[in-house]
Chain A
Amino acid sequence: MVILEAKRLSKHFGGLRAVDKVDIGIDQGDIYGLIGPNGSGKTTFFNLVTGFLPPTTGQVLYKGEVISKLKPHQISQRGIARTFQQNSLFPHLTIKENIIAGRHLKTSGSIAGSFFNTISYKEEQKGLEQKAMELLTFIGLEERADVLAKNLPHGEQRILEIAITLAEEPQLILLDEPATGMNAIETAKVINLIQSIREMGTSVIIVEHHMQVIMGMCNRIGVLSSGVKIAEGTPEDVSKNKEVIAAYLGSGWKHA
């Protein structure tokens, strides 16, 4: 079943065609890798899907509904979560509070409930704490639950960021370069984490330069170059594709 569909999706910044007539379909349970040289429009594509940028032309459909005119929080309400390329945590909140922030859509407590400290308020607080600790145990940060997020090392900040999106219990996760700047051990950790996300039945779109991550995990890969989709298919197909090789290495090398 197709859950996300981009139809002739374009984003132009003045004369620059950052994303140009891209068609992409994501099936339920896919781990879809989006690769391409720097500046090929991968992050712009993410911003179009999650409502941070309005498309110039074309549409994004999620489960058959057009979402390209919605705001980020409305898209998130429909079950699409994302991470950002730059570190994007709540730096002055603790690790636990970061996770709890991710539970925003899964809670419903009112100000009045908090004011009168009602039973339902207390229960929701308890549930939040429990859920946060479960997730922290899952990513192995439970002992540092009360450390401020800004004090974590880079690799663990990236992993915490994925955990925040998991707290949303989304159906589709968009990961923007989750393994940037990580060493081999941390990269392996991220791969494990994404594997277990797939086992939960959540679909993933991942932008990444680490080929180890992309080739080992994705069942389908799309390649963007200068905003245009130049290839799509299984990891084997894509890695043999002439256009893809040309885009990464340049096409003039034969004549040199």
Chain B
Amino acid sequence: MKKYNKHLMTYIVLTAIAAALPLGRDVYVQHLLTLTLILAIYALSYNIIVGYMGLFSFGHQAFFGLGGYTIGLLSLGEASAGRSALPLSLAWPVWATLPASLLVCAIAGYVIGYVSLQMRGVYLGLVTLGFAMLIWMATINERHFTGGVSGVRGIPPFELTLPGLPTLELSSPFSFYYFALVLLVFTIYFISRLTKSRFGRALVALRENEERASALGVDAFKYYLMAFTIAATLAGLAGFAYSYYLRYITPTALGITFLWSAVIMVIIGGTGTLLGPVIGAFIFVFVPEVFRIAEELRLLLFGAALVVVIIFLPQGIYPSLVSLWDRFILRRQERKGIEGEISK
């Protein structure tokens, strides 16, 4: 019970620090921070597949993009539809686009998972990649429906009207930051409870030893499919936030760039942990800004960083930090113990 409270305290402190981060910064830094939180949700969703299922999917970007596109296409109104040159003018409000995008991603995740989870290893990676490329190509080619290469522009700002409350409009990076923070805290809590449930235990057992777990009665396919669907839905949540935040979405969001970003964030941060992908997202957004280098060099840099991390910190940055901290505490306790003995 004491341990549980300690964890809770850690998370409350971390949330407080995160809430204070954008205060007094210029708009550009606030923008980067908001982007970090949205990408962190995306990285956490990918981490379910890589870290908790122990499988490699190369199609996760499709769910991120699908979530974003669902919002984009459903929320366009009369005025903005003209700008995008799209025939749609549904103008759905947020409370309708959110469940719609989650549902689209859940269904896509279930269908793609159902087909590809029959396979393992590199074959799973290839089939999921194939599905994602298919969706990417379709988005580029079905111009009349998706806006083609230029994507969907003029998405209305995030506006939530609840009966009896003033309208919540998030049009600045600053206000959107706190909305993204709420989503991120929810995602972290959700995944943390997921891993502590019977479902999460079964997933980890499968990751550790699939043969043994199925001999213990774990239906591998069922659990993998459920986890894959949940991961797809959470990626859709990230895509939802991304689309409303930037107020446009292009096929890049479904493309290979967003696959590598997920891989980089999760592996550099630390697979199978809750805070690793968040740290990974922070590094992914901020380190290139520090160097102020071009978009093309960014991936080059991260390719190199990935190699370095895999060789020197195979578990990722976060787990390495944790073990460093543990060692520090242990050494301090030992020193105290020795000092205590001497003073006796």
Task: Give chain A residues whose Cβ lies under 8 Å from the Cβ of B190.
Answer: 115
Q: How many A residues face the partner with a CB closer than 8 A? A: 35
A104 near B212 with CB under 8 A, answer no
Q: Is B300 in contact with chain A by the CB < 8 A criterion?
A: no
Q: Mark B186-199, 1 if CB is under 8 A from A, else 0.
A: 00001001101111
- In the bound complex, what is the Cα–Cα distance between A92 and B190 (angstroms)? 23
Pairwise interchain contact A88-B205, C-beta atoms closer than 8 A:
no
Shortest Cβ distance from B202 into A: residue: A104
Q: Name which residue of chain A comes closest to B194, CB basis.
A: A111
Chain B CB within 8 A of A71 CB = yes
Binding site secondary structure of chain B: helix
Partner of B205, one of A82, A101, A113, A168: A101
Given known pairs A73-B220, A91-B208, the reply for A101 and B194 (CB within 8 Å) is no
Is the CB–CB distance between A114 and B204 below 8 Å?
Answer: no
The residue in chain B whose Cβ has the minimal distance to the Cβ of A86 is B211
Question: Given the complex, which residues of A lie within 8 Å of B204, measured CB to CB?
Answer: 90, 93
B289 within 8 A of A: no
Inter-chain CB contacts under 8 Å: number: 90
Alpha-carbon gap, A92 to B213, bound state (A): 14
Query: B285 in the interface, Cβ–Cβ < 8 Å?
Result: no
Known: A88-B211, A90-B212, A115-B190. A108 touches B219 (CB 8 A): no
Contact partners of A90 in chain B: CB under 8 A:
204-205, 208-209, 212-213
| Inter-chain contacts of B212 with A (CB < 8 A) | 84, 88-90
A114 with B215: CB separation less than 8 A: no
- Say yes or no: A89 contacts B198, CB within 8 Å: no
A101 to B216, CA, bound (A): 8
- Known A-B contacts A89-B209, A101-B205; A72 and B194 likewise in contact (beta carbons under 8 Å): no
Is B327 close to A, CB under 8 A? no
Interface of chain B residues 196 through 239 with chain A (CB within 8 A): 196-202, 204-205, 208-209, 211-220
Across the interface, name the chain B residue whose C-beta is closest to A83: B215
CA distance A45 to B238 in the complex (A): 49
Residues 82-124 of A, flagged 1 when their CB comes within 8 A of B and 0 if not, give: 1010001111110001001110110111110111010001001
Are the C-beta atoms of A102 and B193 separated by less than 8 Å?
no
Are B216 and A168 neighbours in the complex by a CB distance under 8 Å? yes
Contact yes or no, B218 A93, CB < 8 A: no
CA distance A111 to B233 in the complex (A): 15
Which residue of chain A has the shortest Cβ distance to B220 in the bound complex? Answer: A73
| Chain A proximity of B275: nearest CB distance (Å) | 19
In the complex, the answer to whether A76 meets B215 with C-beta atoms within 8 Å is yes
A to B CB contacts below 8 Å, 23 in the list: A73-B218, A76-B217, A84-B211, A89-B212, A90-B205, A90-B209, A91-B208, A91-B209, A93-B205, A101-B205, A101-B216, A102-B216, A104-B198, A104-B201, A104-B205, A104-B217, A105-B217, A110-B197, A114-B196, A114-B197, A114-B198, A115-B190, A115-B194
The 4 closest A-B pairs by CB, nearest first: A114-B197, A90-B208, A76-B217, A105-B217
